Amino acid sequence: MIGLEGARYPWRFRLVLALLALMVGAIAWRILDLQVIDRAFLKEQGDARSVRHVPIPAHRGLITDRNGEPLAVSTPVTTLWANGKELQGARERWAELAGALGQDAKSFAQRLEQNANREFMYLVRGLTPERGQAILDLKIPGVYGIEEFRRFYPAGEVTAQLVGFTDVDDRGREGIELAFDNWLAGVPGKRRVLKDRRGRLIKDVQVVENAKPGKTLALSVDLRLQYLANRELRNALVENGAKAGSLVILDVKTGEVLAMANQPSYNPNNRRSMQPAMMRNRAMIDVFEPGSTVKPLSMVAALQSGRWKPSDKVEVYPGRLQIGRYTIKDVSTGGGPVLDLTGILINSSNVGMSKIAFDIGGEAIYNVLQQLGLGQDTGLGFPGERVGNLPNHRKWPKAETATLSYGYGVSVTALQLVHAYSVLANNGRMVPLSLVRVDREPVATQVVPEDVAKTLQGMLQQVIEAPRGAYRAKVPGYHVAGKSGTARKASVGTKGYTANAYRSLFAGFGPMSNPRFAVVVVIDEPSNGYFGGLVSAPVFSKVMSGTLRLMNIPPDNLPSEEPQQTVATSSAAGGRL
C-alpha cells in the first residue's frame, strides 16, 4: 500500500528524502564547523565550565607619622571557608575541624547543619598564615582558604582615635582610615585558574591583572610627641580624677597637627571590650565653652579698635557687675581695684573684660573670633568633626556681649582653639590646618595686625611669668605664653549648667624668642580641683617642655652666667698677682 502511495505521489517521497538529507548535511556541517573551522567556541564553552578568575587581594596603603614610623600596616592573613554540601559527606571529621578552629564541637555541628545546602560559608577569618595552612593540611573535604589582609596598628591606643580602624573587609570605618579610604584602598587583581566541577583547584594558569596596593599616607603627627602627649594626658586624668581629656600640639608655621591625644582610649588591635565613647576623637568632635581662654582673643578686638592700649586702666572693684538680672563676678580680686589690660588677663577678670567689651561692642569681638576660625569649618574633612557655634546678633545686648568676651555662649573644639592661638603665635598670620605632612610651608593669611599679635604675645608671657601669673605653666629654660580657663559644663537636654561639673583648660605657645608650637589642654570634669591654672597648666608645662627638647629648640631663658664669669676672672687675676 505504501509503495503504491509512493508510486502515486513520487514528489512527496523525494521531498522527505531531501529534507532528511538537508538535516544530515546541516548536522555534518555544524560538526565540521565546531571541530575544524570555529574551534574557539567549544574551547570557550569548556573554559566557562572549568576556568575561573580568582581575585588577588591588594593590601591597603601604609599610614606613617611624619618621620616614616608606621601607624597602620596590612599583614597577610588566611580566611577559611567551606562548601556546606561537601562537608556533609565528611561528618566524621567535624569534631576534628572544630577542635582545629578552637570552636565548640556541638555548636559548630549545628552551624554546619543549618548551612548544609550552601556552597559557601565562612568558617573563620583573619587567621595567621601558619595556623590557616595547618588547618588546610588536614585535607578535610569542603574546606578551603582565601588569602586576605588584616590591619595592624603598631602604636595601639596612642593614635587610636586619630588613625581609626578598618572593618573585617578591610574598609575604613573610623578616623583617617575612613577619611582617606579611597587613597589607602588597593585595587584587587585577577588570576586565571582551572577548577573541577566541585570547585577544586586543578591548575594555576596565569595572572591576568596584577593587584595594585594602596598608596602610602604620611600624617603630620610626630609619634614621639604623640607618645608624650598621651602619657601626660593620661597621668593628668589619674592625678585629678577626671572623666576625659584632650590635648593638641600644633606647628604654628605650617599648620600641621604634631600630636592629638584623647583619653580614655582603646586598643584598635583588640576591640572586644571597646566602648563607643572611647572611639571619639574628642579634640575634633567634642565642643565646649572655652571660658577665659577667649579673653586674649577679645583683647585682640580691643587693641584693633584703636580705643585701647595695654597700659589703659579699668576699674574692677568690687569684683562684681550687675547686668539686669545677671551678675558678673570675678573669682580673684587680689589684683587691686584697678587693672590694666595685662592685669585683666593675669587676674582673669570677667568684670574688666566685660567693661572693655561694652566699649568696643559685641560685633567687634564676634568679627575677630570668626576671623580666628572659631565656629568655622577647619576644612580637614575628618569624619564627625564639628564646627561649634559662634552666635551672632543683629543687635548685641549687654549680657551677650559680656559673656562672649570671656568665653561663654560660644562653643569650640580643642583644635579650633589651638588654631586661634597659633595665629597669635605666628604674628597674626593664619595657615590652613593639616593632618597630613606638609612638604612646603603654606601660604599664610594676615588676619590680625602684626603689631597687635606681638603685643598679645608679650601680655600672655606676663600671664605666666608675672608674680600672680599661672606659674604652674612655666617651662624651665624657655619663655612661654598662655592663658588658663575654667568653664562650667552645660547640661545635656536641659538649659543651664550641670552642678559641680567643669572643664579645665589651658592654651599657650612658645618659645617666645620665635614662637613655633601651640598647645591646648582640655581636662573634663576633674574631681581634685578644677581651675585651669591648677589642673591643665602643669600638663601644658610638661608637654611644652618635652616638645621643645625633642624638636631641638634652643633655650631662650637660661640663667645668667655673668656672676660666675666675674668670680672666675677675679680668681685668675689673683693667681697672676
- The pLDDT assigned to 46 comes to 58
Nearest to 156 by CA among 147, 165, 148: 165
Task: Tell me, letter by letter, the H, E, C secondary structure of 113-138.
Answer: HHCCCCCCEEEEEEECHHHHHHHHCC
Verify whether residue 405 is a known catalytic residue: no
Q: Verify that 101 and 72 share a domain, yes or no.
A: yes
pLDDT tens digits, one per residue of 309-340: 999 999 999 999 999 888 999 988 788 899 99
Say how far apart CA 368 and CA 375 lie, in whole Å.
12
User: Residue 206: which CATH number?
Assistant: 3.90.1310.10
Residue 38, SS3 per DSSP = coil
Q: Does residue 91 carry a pLDDT above 90?
A: no
Say how far apart CA 502 and CA 524 lie, in whole Å.
7
C-alpha cell of residue 481:
605664653
Q: Verify that 252 and 197 share a domain, yes or no.
A: no
- The pLDDT assigned to 520 comes to 98
- Ramachandran bin of 164, using left for φ above 0, alpha for ψ from -120 to 50, beta for the remaining angles: left
Q: Point out the domain boundary residue: 218, 251, 285.
A: 218
Say how far apart CA 301 and CA 313 lie, in whole Å.
17
Question: For residues 147 and 156, which has the higher predicted lDDT (pLDDT)?
Answer: 156
- The pLDDT assigned to 48 comes to 55
Question: What is the CB-side half-sphere exposure of residue 56 using CA atoms within 13 A?
Answer: 15
Q: Verify that 183 and 244 share a domain, yes or no.
A: no
The band of 276, judged by pLDDT with boundaries at 50, 70 and 90, is confident
- The pLDDT assigned to 88 comes to 85
- The pLDDT assigned to 16 comes to 81
Q: H/E element holding 422?
A: helix 414-425
The band of 125, judged by pLDDT with boundaries at 50, 70 and 90, is confident
Which of 265, 292, 354, 536 is catalytic? The answer is 292
Start-to-end Cα distance in the chain: 161
- The pLDDT assigned to 445 comes to 96
- The pLDDT assigned to 570 comes to 36
- The pLDDT assigned to 34 comes to 64
Tell me, yes or no, whether 100 lies in a domain.
Answer: yes
Range with lowest mean pLDDT among 27-41, 75-89, 208-222 = 27-41
Q: Verify that 356 and 393 share a domain, yes or no.
A: yes
- The pLDDT assigned to 4 comes to 53
- For the chain, how many structural domains are there in total? 2
Q: Does residue 156 carry a pLDDT above 90?
A: yes
User: Residue 251: which CATH number?
Assistant: 3.40.710.10
The band of 117, judged by pLDDT with boundaries at 50, 70 and 90, is confident
- The pLDDT assigned to 428 comes to 97
- The pLDDT assigned to 577 comes to 25
- The pLDDT assigned to 202 comes to 57
Q: Verify that 247 and 143 share a domain, yes or no.
A: no
Q: What residues are paired with 75 via a beta bridge?
A: 150
Rounded mean pLDDT of 450-474? 96
- The pLDDT assigned to 3 comes to 52
Q: Does residue 284 carry a pLDDT above 70?
A: yes
Residue partners of 398: CB distance under 8 A and separation at least 6: 323, 324, 358
Range with lowest mean pLDDT among 38-47, 312-321, 543-552 = 38-47
Residue partners of 291: CB distance under 8 A and separation at least 6: 406, 407, 408, 485, 486, 487, 503, 505, 532
Tell me, yes or no, whether 541 lies in a domain.
Answer: yes
Tell me, yes or no, whether 10 lies in a domain.
Answer: no
Range with lowest mean pLDDT among 83-92, 219-228, 450-459 = 83-92
Residue tagged 599657650 (cell numbers): 508
Alpha carbon 113 to chain centroid distance? Answer: 44
Rounded mean pLDDT of 65-78? 93
The band of 565, judged by pLDDT with boundaries at 50, 70 and 90, is very low
Question: For residues 24 and 164, which has the higher predicted lDDT (pLDDT)?
Answer: 164
Task: Tell me, letter by letter, the H, E, C secondary structure of 260-291.
Answer: EEEECCCCCCCCCCCCHHHHCCHHHHCCECCH
Tell me, yes or no, whether 25 lies in a domain.
Answer: no
The band of 217, judged by pLDDT with boundaries at 50, 70 and 90, is very high
Q: Verify that 322 and 444 share a domain, yes or no.
A: yes
Reported in sequence order, the residue ranges of 425-496 that DSSP labels E, i.e. its strands, are: 429-430, 445-446, 481-490
Question: For residues 34 and 35, which has the higher predicted lDDT (pLDDT)?
Answer: 35
Rounded mean pLDDT of 218-238? 97
Nearest to 217 by CA among 75, 65, 440: 65
Q: Verify that 139 and 243 share a domain, yes or no.
A: no
Say how far apart CA 18 and CA 91 lie, in whole Å.
61
Tell me, yes or no, whether 313 lies in a domain.
Answer: yes
Rounded mean pLDDT of 74-89? 85
Q: Does residue 36 carry a pLDDT above 60?
A: yes
- The pLDDT assigned to 233 comes to 98
Tell me, yes or no, whether 134 lies in a domain.
Answer: yes
Q: Verify that 178 and 239 share a domain, yes or no.
A: no
Q: Does residue 31 carry a pLDDT above 80?
A: no
Q: Does residue 23 carry a pLDDT above 90?
A: no
Q: Does residue 263 carry a pLDDT above 70?
A: yes
Phi then psi dihedrals of residue 144, to 5 deg: -135, 165
Tell me, yes or no, whether 40 lies in a domain.
Answer: no
Say how far apart CA 204 and CA 227 lie, in whole Å.
47
Q: Does residue 566 carry a pLDDT above 60?
A: no
Q: Point out the domain boundary residue: 198, 218, 238.
A: 218
Instruction: Name the CA radius of gyration of the chain, rounded.
Output: 37
Alpha carbon 99 to chain centroid distance? Answer: 40
The band of 42, judged by pLDDT with boundaries at 50, 70 and 90, is low
Task: Write down how long the chain is.
Answer: 577
Angle at alpha carbon of residue 202, lines to 199 and 205, rounded to 5°: 110
pLDDT tens digits, one per residue of 526-544: 998 899 999 999 999 999 9
C-alpha cell of residue 391:
552666635
Q: Verify that 355 and 212 share a domain, yes or no.
A: no
Q: Verify that 273 and 212 share a domain, yes or no.
A: no
Whole-prediction pTM: 0.83
Q: Verify that 208 and 256 share a domain, yes or no.
A: no
- The pLDDT assigned to 12 comes to 76
Q: Point out the domain boundary residue: 168, 183, 218.
A: 218
Say how far apart CA 180 and CA 172 lie, in whole Å.
8
Rounded mean pLDDT of 193-216? 68
Say how far apart CA 252 and CA 431 lie, in whole Å.
8
Tell me, yes or no, whether 41 lies in a domain.
Answer: no
- The pLDDT assigned to 568 comes to 39
Looking at residue 212, its amino acid is: K
Rounded mean pLDDT of 513-538? 95
Say how far apart CA 100 and CA 179 lie, in whole Å.
38
Q: Verify that 207 and 261 share a domain, yes or no.
A: no
Structural domain for 96, as ranges? 54-218
Residue tagged 601626660 (cell numbers): 232
Residue partners of 243: CB distance under 8 A and separation at least 6: 237, 524, 525
- The pLDDT assigned to 563 comes to 46
Average pLDDT, the chain: 88
Burial environment of residue 411 by CB neighbours within 10 A (0 to 12, 13 to 18, 19 or more)? buried
Reported in sequence order, the residue ranges of 455-570 that DSSP labels E, i.e. its strands, are: 481-490, 497-510, 517-524
- Ramachandran bin of 379, using left for φ above 0, alpha for ψ from -120 to 50, beta for the remaining angles: left
The band of 54, judged by pLDDT with boundaries at 50, 70 and 90, is low
Rounded mean pLDDT of 481-500? 87
Rounded mean pLDDT of 149-176? 93
